[in-house]
C-alpha cells in the first residue's frame, strides 16, 4: 500500500477525520484548478498532502500566432500562458522532493487536458516523477478519499478530444478572423460554434421582420347551471365548433353576428369526460436544463448560472462544518445518479413526505445519445442539506440556485402527480359547440417538492387559443340547462416567433447537437461580447454588425455555418474521446474542404464596410465635420481630419440629458463586462447614466427645458 493510500485510509478510519501528522512535512502534492477547491481538499486529505491551485490552464497555444503546424499533422505549439508563469514557477518549487504528484482538475475534457499539461511540465523538470490522475464528481470527504484510493493514468483519449476541439477552433478562428478584419472591421472574430449560434439569432430576427400578423377572434360565454340558486358558480366556455367544424372567427362583424344568434339560443351540457392523468417528474438537471430553468425561474443568464454553480461545486464555508461542496460537477449531459445518492434521497422523502411519495422502484432516466454516462447529473451532495439549513452561509443567488437543484433532484426521485381532467362540451342550439376544461389535483406526488414551469411556446396564437381552464368547475350533468350571462368577443392578432433568449437558444443548440455542456454559456457570452448581438429585455437581438458578419460567413463558408455539419463535428469529437477515431484524421478531413472555401473567399470576399456618412456635427478638437463610420462596436462619429485628428464620439440618440441645466445629449455607450447603456455627451462633467432611453413624453419635456 502506498503512503498516499495509507494516509487516506487513516483519514477514513478516524471518527473526527483528524488529519494525519507527518514530521517531514507534506510528502505528496495535489494540484487542483481553484483556490476554493484547494481549501476544501486540504481539510479532507491531511498534512501528508499539500494541495495547491493551478488557476486553470497553464499551457495553451500562443495568442500572437496560430501555433498549429498544419503541414505536419496539426502539431500544436504549446507555451506557458503569460499569466500562469509565476504559478508554474511556484508549482515546480512545490513539487520538489514530493513522492507523488496528484493532478485533480475537473472531471471533463478540459480538466484532463490541464492534467496532461501539468504532467508535461513536471516530467520536464523531473523525468522520473510519479504523476497520477484523481477524478471526483463531487467535493465531499467520501468522494475525494475514494478518488485518492483509486488514482489512474491520464486518459489520452480525453486529452486528444480536447486538443482536437482547441486546434479546430484555433484554425477556424485564426484564418477566418483576418478576412473579417479586412472586409468588415478590425477586432472581429469568427468561431465554429459561435458563428452557427449567431446565424440562428439572425435568422430568427429576419423571420420576425417578415412576419405579417393575421387577425382572428375568440368568443367566450359566461355560463352557470340553471337550478334556481343565485349562488351557482359562473364559468367560462369557449366557442369551439360551428356546424361540427372548428370555429375560426375572422373579424368583428362575424363575431357580432354569431353573438346575436347565440343570445336567442338555449345552452345545454352535451357531454362530460373525466380522466385521471399522471404527470411524471423530470430527470435531475444536466447543464443545459439547469441553464434553461435558471433563466426561466430565476432570470439568471447562462453565464451567471455557471459562475454560481461553480462556487457551489467547489466549496462553501458552512460554519463549524467547514468548507463543503454543495453540488456535484455542473458540466454534464448525463442524468445518471449514484446509488448512494438515490438511497439517501429515498430516506429523506420517506421521512419528510411519507412512503406514499416513493416509487416502488427508483426512477431511471435516459440520457441523450452521446452523453458521458460515467458522469452524474447535477444534484446536491446531500439530500439532507436542506436550503433553509444553510441559508445564512450563502449569498442570495447561490441559495436560489442551490434550492432549484435540490428540489429538482428530490422531485426526480418521487412518484408522479395525479390530476383529474374534466372536459365539458356544451351545445347552443344545434349549430354552436362550446368547450370548457378544468383540472384538479388528486395527489401532489413530485410537485410537493418541485412545481412545474410552463414551457415557452413559439406560436403565441397557440397560447391564446388554449381553452379557458378552471381549477374547479361546477358539478354539472349531461342534459343540464345552462344560463347565459354574457358573451365576450375578443380580437387577437397572430404574433411572430419570439426572439431567442439564453434558455431557448441553449435548447436549440442542444437539440441540434451543436456544442456541449461546457460551451453553451461561453458561446452566448462571445456573441454578446463581440457586439454581434445585444440584450433587449431578456432576448438576444442581432446588431447590424452581427447580421453583416453572419451574411458574409454564410455566403463564403456555407459548410462551416451548416448546423448538420457542425453537429457531425461534435459527434466526431465524442468518438475521439471514446477512442473510436483518430484526432489527426478528423482535423485533416475538416481542413481539406475548409481550405478550399478559404482560398476562394480570400479572392472573392468583397469589402462590406459602408462609406462614411457626413453629419451636421463638428469636431470638438479641430472643428472639422464629423462622419458616421462603422467599427467593431457598431456605428460611431469620427473627425474628417483622421488620422491627424483622432476625435470620436458616440452617435446621439436624439434625447436630451434629463439633468437640469445640463444641455447634453444621451449617447449609447458600452463598458467592458456590462451591456450597453446611455450616458450624457457632457461626460465627465455630467455623469448621468441610464439603462434605457426616456419615454417620448419625458423626452419632450426635457427638450423644452434644454437651452
pLDDT in tens, 404-457: 999 999 999 999 999 999 999 999 999 999 999 998 999 999 999 987 544 444
Same domain, 7 and 149: yes
Which residues are paired to 215 by β-bridges? 493
What's the CA gap between 551 and 292, in Å, rounded? 28
Which residues are paired to 665 by β-bridges? 656
CA nearest to 313, candidates 331, 326, 294: 326
Q: Is residue 232 part of a domain?
A: yes
The CATH number given to whatever domain includes residue 42 is 3.40.50.140
Q: Kindly list the distances between the CA atom of residue 221 and the CA atoms of 255, 263, 486, 487, in Å, as whole numbers in the listed order.
A: 12, 10, 6, 5
CA nearest to 166, candidates 586, 537, 684: 586
Single out the residue in 604, 631, 650 at which a domain terminates. 604
Q: Is residue 103 part of a domain?
A: yes
Q: Which residues of 433-459 are buried (b: 16+ CB within 10 A; e: fewer)?
A: bbbbbbeeeeeebbbbbbeeeeeeeee
- Residue 539's Cβ-side half-sphere holds a number of Cα atoms within 13 Å equal to 13
> Structure pTM?
0.83
Same domain, 39 and 80: yes
Distance spanning both ends of the chain, measured CA to CA: 85
Q: At 415, list the grid cell.
A: 412518484
Between CA 388 and CA 396, with CA 393 as vertex, the angle to 5 degrees is 75
What's the CA gap between 34 and 594, in Å, rounded? 38
Domain assignment of residue 427, given as a range: 215-280+417-493
Single out the residue in 394, 412, 430 at which a domain terminates. 412
Residues 6+ apart with CB under 8 A from 535: 528, 541, 675
Q: Is residue 358 part of a domain?
A: yes
Sign of CA dihedral 62, 63, 64, 66: positive
Residue keyed to cell 469568427: 190
CB 449 within 8 A of CB 483: no
Same domain, 41 and 123: yes
Q: What are the backbone dihedrals phi and psi of residue 404, each rounded to the nearest 5 degrees, phi first?
A: -60, -45
Q: Is residue 498 part of a domain?
A: no
pLDDT at 674: 53
Residue 82 burial (10 A CB sphere; 0-12, 13-18, 19+): exposed
Residues in the chain where the model's pLDDT stays below 50: 1-23, 453-465, 673, 696-707
Q: At 598, list the grid cell.
A: 478559404
The CATH number given to whatever domain includes residue 379 is 1.10.290.10
Kind and range of the H or E run holding 625: strand 625-631
Pairing of strands 613-618, 267-279: unpaired
Between CA 116 and CA 123, with CA 117 as vertex, the angle to 5 degrees is 85
Same domain, 171 and 296: no
Radius of gyration of the chain (CA): 31
Pairing of strands 131-133, 75-76: unpaired
**How many domains, in total, are found in the chain?**
5
Same domain, 13 and 93: yes
Same domain, 618 and 567: no
Q: Is residue 569 part of a domain?
A: yes
Single out the residue in 133, 154, 175 at which a domain terminates. 154
Same domain, 246 and 317: no
Q: Is residue 160 part of a domain?
A: no
Same domain, 62 and 95: yes
SS3 335: coil
Q: Kindly list the distances between the CA atom of residue 279 and the CA atoms of 198, 238, 282, in Å, as whole numbers in the listed order.
A: 36, 26, 9
Kind and range of the H or E run holding 228: none
Residue keyed to cell 483509486: 150
pLDDT at 24: 66
pLDDT at 697: 42
Same domain, 543 and 692: no
Q: At 116, list the grid cell.
A: 496532461
- Crossing angle, helix 502-512 and helix 194-210, to 10 degrees? 120
pLDDT at 371: 62
The CATH number given to whatever domain includes residue 427 is 2.70.20.10
Q: Is residue 31 part of a domain?
A: yes
What's the CA gap between 137 and 375, in Å, rounded? 7
CB 44 within 8 A of CB 11: yes
Same domain, 89 and 58: yes
Q: Is residue 159 part of a domain?
A: no
Number of Cβ within 10 Å of residue 250's Cβ equals 11
Same domain, 150 and 9: yes
CB 653 within 8 A of CB 673: no
What's the CA gap between 577 and 241, in Å, rounded? 56
Question: What is the set of active-site residues?
Answer: 329
pLDDT at 373: 56
CB 325 within 8 A of CB 144: no
Residues 6+ apart with CB under 8 A from 128: none
DSSP for 101-163, written as a single string = EEE---SSHHHHHHHHHHHHHHHHH-TT--EEE---SS-SHHHHHHHHHS-B---HHHHHHHH
Tell me the per-residue pLDDT of 291-320, one tens digit each, with 9 for 90 and over.
999 999 999 999 999 999 999 999 898 988
Number of Cβ within 10 Å of residue 695's Cβ equals 10
Residue keyed to cell 452617435: 651
Sign of CA dihedral 297, 298, 299, 305: negative
What's the CA gap between 334 and 381, in Å, rounded? 16
Kind and range of the H or E run holding 578: none
Residue 57 burial (10 A CB sphere; 0-12, 13-18, 19+): middle
Cα torsion through 287, 293, 298, 299, rounded to 10: 90
pLDDT at 17: 40
- Residue 504's Cβ-side half-sphere holds a number of Cα atoms within 13 Å equal to 15
Same domain, 423 and 275: yes
What's the CA gap between 687 and 707, in Å, rounded? 19
The CATH number given to whatever domain includes residue 205 is 1.10.460.10
Amino acid at each position: 500500500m502506498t503512503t498516499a493510500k495509507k494516509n487516506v485510509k487513516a483519514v477514513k478510519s478516524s471518527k473526527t477525520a483528524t488529519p494525519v501528522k507527518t514530521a517531514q512535512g507534506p510528502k505528496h502534492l495535489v494540484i487542483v484548478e481553484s483556490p476554493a477547491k484547494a481549501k476544501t481538499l486540504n481539510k479532507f486529505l491531511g498534512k501528508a498532502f499539500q494541495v495547491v491551485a493551478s488557476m486553470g490552464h497553464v499551457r495553451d497555444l500562443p495568442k500572437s500566432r496560430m501555433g498549429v503546424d498544419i503541414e505536419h499533422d496539426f502539431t500544436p505549439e504549446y507555451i506557458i500562458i503569460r499569466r500562469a508563469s509565476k504559478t508554474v514557477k511556484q508549482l515546480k518549487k512545490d513539487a520538489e522532493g514530493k513522492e507523488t504528484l496528484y493532478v485533480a482538475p475537473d472531471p471533463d475534457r478540459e480538466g484532463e487536458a490541464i492534467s496532461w499539461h501539468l504532467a508535461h511540465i513536471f516530467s520536464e523538470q523531473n523525468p522520473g516523477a510519479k504523476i497520477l490522475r484523481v477524478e471526483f464528481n463531487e467535493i465531499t470527504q467520501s468522494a475525494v478519499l475514494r478518488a485518492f484510493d483509486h488514482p489512474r493514468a491520464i486518459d489520452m483519449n480525453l486529452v486528444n478530444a480536447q486538443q482536437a476541439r482547441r486546434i479546430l477552433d484555433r484554425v477556424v478562428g485564426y484564418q477566418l478572423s483576418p478576412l473579417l478584419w479586412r472586409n468588415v472591421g478590425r477586432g472581429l472574430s469568427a468561431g465554429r460554434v459561435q458563428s452557427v449560434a449567431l446565424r440562428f439569432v439572425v435568422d430568427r430576427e429576419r423571420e420576425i421582420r417578415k412576419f405579417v400578423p393575421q387577425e382572428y377572434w375568440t368568443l367566450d360565454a359566461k355560463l352557470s347551471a340553471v337550478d334556481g340558486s343565485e349562488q351557482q358558480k359562473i364559468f367560462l366556455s369557449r366557442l369551439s365548433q360551428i356546424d361540427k367544424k372548428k370555429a375560426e372567427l375572422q373579424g368583428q362583424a362575424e363575431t357580432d353576428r354569431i353573438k346575436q344568434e347565440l343570445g336567442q339560443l338555449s345552452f345545454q351540457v352535451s357531454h362530460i369526460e373525466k380522466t385521471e392523468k399522471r404527470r411524471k417528474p423530470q430527470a435531475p438537471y444536466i447543464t443545459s436544463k439547469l441553464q434553461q430553468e435558471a433563466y426561466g425561474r430565476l432570470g439568471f443568464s447562462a453565464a451567471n448560472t455557471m459562475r454560481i454553480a461553480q462556487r457551489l461545486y467547489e466549496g462553501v464555508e458552512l460554519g463549524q462544518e467547514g468548507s463543503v461542496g454543495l453540488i456535484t460537477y455542473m458540466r454534464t449531459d448525463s442524468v445518471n445518479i449514484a446509488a448512494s445518492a438515490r438511497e439517501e434521497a429515498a430516506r429523506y422523502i420517506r421521512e419528510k413526505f411519507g412512503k406514499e411519495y416513493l416509487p416502488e422502484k427508483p426512477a431511471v432516466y435516459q440520457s441523450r445519445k452521446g452523453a458521458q454516462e460515467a458522469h452524474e447529473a447535477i444534484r446536491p451532495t446531500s439530500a439532507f442539506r436542506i436550503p433553509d439549513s444553510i441559508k445564512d452561509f450563502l449569498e442570495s443567488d447561490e441559495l436560489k440556485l442551490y434550492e432549484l437543484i435540490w428540489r429538482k433532484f428530490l422531485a426526480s426521485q418521487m412518484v408522479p402527480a395525479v390530476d383529474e381532467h374534466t372536459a365539458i362540451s356544451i351545445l347552443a342550439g344545434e349549430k354552436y359547440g362550446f368547450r370548457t376544461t378544468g383540472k384538479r389535483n388528486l395527489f401532489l406526488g413530485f410537485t410537493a417538492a418541485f412545481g412545474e414551469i410552463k414551457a415557452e411556446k413559439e406560436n403565441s396564437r397557440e397560447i391564446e387559443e388554449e381553452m379557458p381552464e378552471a381549477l374547479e368547475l361546477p358539478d354539472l350533468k349531461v342534459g343540464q340547462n345552462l344560463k347565459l350571462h354574457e358573451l365576450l368577443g375578443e380580437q387577437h392578432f397572430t404574433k411572430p416567433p419570439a426572439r431567442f433568449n439564453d434558455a431557448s437558444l441553449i435548447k436549440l443548440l442542444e437539440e441540434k447537437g451543436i456544442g456541449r455542456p461546457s460551451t453553451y454559456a461561453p458561446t452566448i457570452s462571445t456573441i454578446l461580447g463581440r457586439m454581434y448581438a445585444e440584450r433587449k429585455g431578456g432576448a438576444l437581438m442581432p446588431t447590424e454588425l452581427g447580421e453583416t458578419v453572419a451574411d458574409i460567413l454564410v455566403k463564403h463558408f456555407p459548410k462551416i455555418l451548416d448546423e448538420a455539419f457542425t453537429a457531425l463535428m461534435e459527434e466526431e469529437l465524442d468518438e475521439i474521446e471514446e477512442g473510436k477515431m483518430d484526432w489527426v484524421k478528423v482535423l485533416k478531413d475538416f481542413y481539406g474542404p475548409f481550405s478550399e472555401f478559404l482560398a476562394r473567399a480570400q479572392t472573392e470576399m468583397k469589402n462590406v464596410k459602408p462609406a462614411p456618412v457626413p453629419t451636421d456635427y463638428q469636431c470638438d478638437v479641430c472643428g472639422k465635420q464629423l462622419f458616421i463610420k462603422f467599427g467593431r462596436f457598431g456605428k460611431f462619429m469620427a473627425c474628417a481630419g483622421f488620422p491627424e485628428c483622432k476625435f470620436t464620439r458616440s452617435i446621439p440618440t436624439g434625447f436630451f440629458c434629463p439633468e437640469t441645466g445640463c444641455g447634453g445629449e444621451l449617447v449609447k455607450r458600452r463598458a467592458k463586462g456590462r451591456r450597453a447603456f446611455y450616458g450624457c455627451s457632457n461626460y465627465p462633467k455630467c455623469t448621468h447614466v441610464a439603462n434605457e432611453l426616456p419615454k417620448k413624453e419625458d423626452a419632450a419635456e426635457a427638450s423644452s427645458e434644454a437651452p
